[in-house]
Structure 1
Amino acid sequence: MTDPAEPAPLPDATPAQPVEVVADPDAYRDAVRRIVAGSGPIAVDAERASGFRYSQRAYLIQLFRRGSGTVLLDPIAFDDLSELAEAMRGAEWVLHAASQDLPCLLEVGLVPDRIFDTELGARLLGFERVGLGAVVERLLGLHLAKEHSAADWSTRPLPTPWLVYAALDVELLLDVRDAEEALLVEQDKTEIARQEFESVRTREAKPAPAEPWRRLSGVHAVRGARNLAVARSLWQARDAYARQIDAAPGRLVPDASLVAVARTPPGSKRELAGMRSFSGRASRSEIDRWWAAVEAGLAAEDLPSTRVQSDALPPPRAWSDRNPEADRRLKAARPAVAAIAEAMALPAENLLPPEALRRVAWEPPQPATAEAIAEVLEQHAARPWQVVATAQAIADAFVRAAQAPAETDGSPS
């Protein structure tokens, strides 16, 4: 018997139409005609096979437009999606966590002119939970199952339950968008949202790291240039093989196994094969590959540096020793920014990029006027509304830090 004090369970969301995959030319042309015949924003989502495949390509693209219905498109089946791109041109795209999907959509030639990001909108509205399921529950009163979010979407054929999940990810987005827009108007945040959405849409991809092997989880525990050379060689061998067979590198041999070998390189292929810490589905079947990598690392003449050159700031916990004045400025400015964020019902990290605040605190302009601080914040990707909201408060906090440094000590860093 249900406890009368407990809220009734929410009704499950269900697809508006039967789910079918567009995977042949006739179905594709029909889908394009339907998108053109619809009106208003287009809900867009993409499913990848992260954790299963090497690439981050889209293995399913979902679209929904009022008057068009739902389109579940298999992008692997088509070499050219230019007709679809043209059909979508000029329309607002509605995505949830757009930064995750835009790169793989760009890869197949789908580029939005403007977007509405419902996850970012939820953050700007001060929602504590911003996953699509939580937002749908809050705004639409429906339960949205999310059990297939980590599935291997490169599977063919795609199971029907997965397609139902995929369809619902877009069929509810337009209603979520409309509900969020009304709340953004109510909270006078429409211009804030516009700037944030545009920032996501136009954000350039981060350049590839010069030494991507240094991203091995746990590589900091590898001591000495020779051992680091082994780690580098193993990473390169795994990456090349993963790319060759289109598999997620970590599924072949986990980072922890590569690091274990690099920390204590084995003396023979037999010893490598016998290491209990060297595991993974390709650890034994490709033992010749891995042993060749170990030998290459041990014989390498171009040893990697044991100290990485970086322009990254030290962690704030080290500031009191490394740069006490900057530490006092940061400790004075953080609560000032947090107070503005609270007054605006925003997470502090959405009010101002934390890196921008750290940069201006570490090396402020001289003199540190609000105008000069604004210029520095802009250089570190702060949007105009963020600069207007925070520059004066930061300048005032820096003055307080200089005049009464003892009063700013004790704030968490």
Structure 2
Amino acid sequence: MNLIKTTEELSAVCGDLAKQEFIAIDTEFMRETTYWPKLCLIQIAAGEIEIIIDPLAENIDLSPLVAILLDEKILKVFHAPRQDLEIFYRIMGKTLPKPVFDTQTAAMALGLGEQVSYDGLINALLGIHVDKTHRFTDWALRPLSQNQLNYAIADVTYLRDAYPIIVERLQELGRTNWVLEEMEHFTNPDLYDTTPTNAWKRLKPKKFNTEYMAAFFAAATWREWYAQEKDIPRGRTLKDDAIFEIAEQKPRTPEAMDKMRAIPKGFGKSKGGMALLEALNEAMESPEEFAPKASRPKPNPSGIGAITELLKVLLRAVSEDLGVAPRLIASTNDLEAIAISDDADTPALQGWRREIFGEKALKLKHGEFGLAIKGKKVTISELQKAIAE
């Protein structure tokens, strides 16, 4: 294992990485007290190469690594990469590594669980129990001990060894394309968007009139901006409950704000509170200009709940029969959409999902398929054949 602390060392090893077909990659970061994750280590294993890059080393330039991450001839193998990719998205100037492969998604296609952990995956595939002693290490502290470095590099050395096994099993089962389709989700830039004016979208408004939505938008936007500006978690600025209460009460003065249950006492007269009030007052002066367009969710038609529950049973039966995690095939939202419409624009009615599940779901919905219990297993059969027998 080689610890990289200089740009020269990084450039040299990236020359070797550029010759690899795939690299296993992971990061260690801290974000308990910050809005932006603080990148502390980058671990990479590929072929005989095993390195840890110290991004906190003085004057190190990560440009040689960025070139590797952008090289589409090299596959980047992660396990549950959502947060890793968020970090790279920022340091790479709002671009993402491509192509990527998520072993957690692949594990679902192999029937190893819905959200199998890294140590669970390695134990299942390699029979190795990963030491998690240093899981809660403060990775920003220097120097790091040899034991901490050994722990960190193990997150990619085993991943490097497990990846070929995963690929072989997926090919044997004919499920490689299933997993590759899912990778498009991780490389969608919208997933990592932190634009403050889009912050309201991660919350679910409770009302949809113009003034409520204008205040809701203003409060959510201000909180996101302030949290980014001060580099503190959004929840330490204001809780989600405060955003909803502000949208409901629409305070216009420090005194009115300080009377609210979800607002910390004294916040209304603080610099942050005054800035928030300024944003709210501006929004309330012309709510039509500030209110984002949002439609109230339509209530599900009568009887959809029971159909959805029946589809859940079908999904479980299909997933158990194929040895696939149900979440890879369909979500509850997918099932509700199918229950409402045969032509729903949902992944479960497209591609390989439609082939293994969607068609069965539609036939069950229209009484062409039946579910029965035989022994300890739910079985699926065409209803006419079942009656004839």
Tell me how far apart the structure 2 counterparts of residues 267 and 195 of structure 1 sit (CA, whole Å). 51
The answer to which structure has the higher strand fraction is 2
Q: Give the direction of change, closer, same or farther, for the CA distance of 1:238–1:98 in structure 2 (3 Å limit).
A: closer
Query: Which residue of 2 is the match for residue 289 of structure 1?
Result: 272
Tell me how far apart the structure 2 counterparts of residues 311 and 268 of structure 1 sit (CA, whole Å). 30
The count of aligned residue pairs is 359
Query: Which residue of 2 is the match for residue 171 of structure 1?
Result: 157
| 2:362 matches 1:395 | yes
Q: Give the direction of change, closer, same or farther, for the CA distance of 1:271–1:213 in structure 2 (3 Å limit).
A: same
Q: Give the direction of change, closer, same or farther, for the CA distance of 1:31–1:350 in structure 2 (3 Å limit).
A: same
Residue 333 of structure 1 deviates from its aligned partner by 3.6
Tell me how far apart the structure 2 counterparts of residues 106 and 256 of structure 1 sit (CA, whole Å). 29
Aligned to 2:52, the other structure's residue is in SS state strand
Residue 112 of structure 1 deviates from its aligned partner by 4.9
Tell me how far apart the structure 2 counterparts of residues 119 and 274 of structure 1 sit (CA, whole Å). 46
Of the candidates 44, 62, 67, which is equivalent to residue 48 of structure 2? 67
TM-score by length of structure 2 reads 0.71
TM-score by length of structure 1 reads 0.68
Residue 344 of structure 1 deviates from its aligned partner by 0.4
Equivalent pair of 2:102/2:183 in contact (CA under 8 Å)? no
Residue 350 of structure 1 deviates from its aligned partner by 1.1
Query: Which residue of 2 is the match for residue 7 of structure 1?
Result: none
* Paired residues for 1:31-50 under 5 Å: 31-36=13-18, 39-50=20-31
Q: Residues 272-323 of structure 1: CA distance to partner in whole angstroms, max 9, x if unpaired? A: 669785449xx76981330342355256223379997338564xxxx3xx34
Residue 125 of structure 1 deviates from its aligned partner by 2.0
| 2:350 matches 1:363 | no
Structure 2 residue identity aligned to 1:400: G
Tell me how far apart the structure 2 counterparts of residues 296 and 384 of structure 1 sit (CA, whole Å). 46
Tell me how far apart the structure 1 counterparts of residues 271 and 233 of structure 2 sit (CA, whole Å). 20
Query: Which residue of 2 is the match for residue 310 of structure 1?
Result: 295
* Paired residues for 1:362-381 under 5 Å: 362-365=340-343, 376-377=345-346, 380=347
Equivalent pair of 1:231/1:262 in contact (CA under 8 Å)? yes
| 2:199 matches 1:212 | yes
Tell me how far apart the structure 1 counterparts of residues 54 and 26 of structure 2 sit (CA, whole Å). 10
Query: Which residue of 1 is the match for residue 131 of structure 2?
Result: 144
Q: Over aligned residue pairs, what C-alpha RMSD do you find?
A: 4.4
Q: Which moved more, 1:103-112 or 1:163-172?
A: 103-112
Query: Which residue of 2 is the match for residue 241 of structure 1?
Result: 226
Q: Which moved more, 1:138-147 or 1:108-117?
A: 108-117
Which consecutive residues of structure 1, in runs of 5 or more, have no partner in the other structure? 1-16, 366-372, 405-413
Equivalent pair of 2:26/2:155 in contact (CA under 8 Å)? yes
Query: Which residue of 1 is the match for residue 111 of structure 2?
Result: 126
Q: Give the direction of change, closer, same or farther, for the CA distance of 1:70–1:311 in structure 2 (3 Å limit).
A: farther
Query: Which residue of 2 is the match for residue 410 of structure 1?
Result: none
Residue 171 of structure 1 deviates from its aligned partner by 1.9
Of the candidates 320, 323, 328, which is equivalent to residue 342 of structure 1? 320
Aligned to 1:205, the other structure's residue is in SS state helix
Query: Which residue of 2 is the match for residue 55 of structure 1?
Result: 36
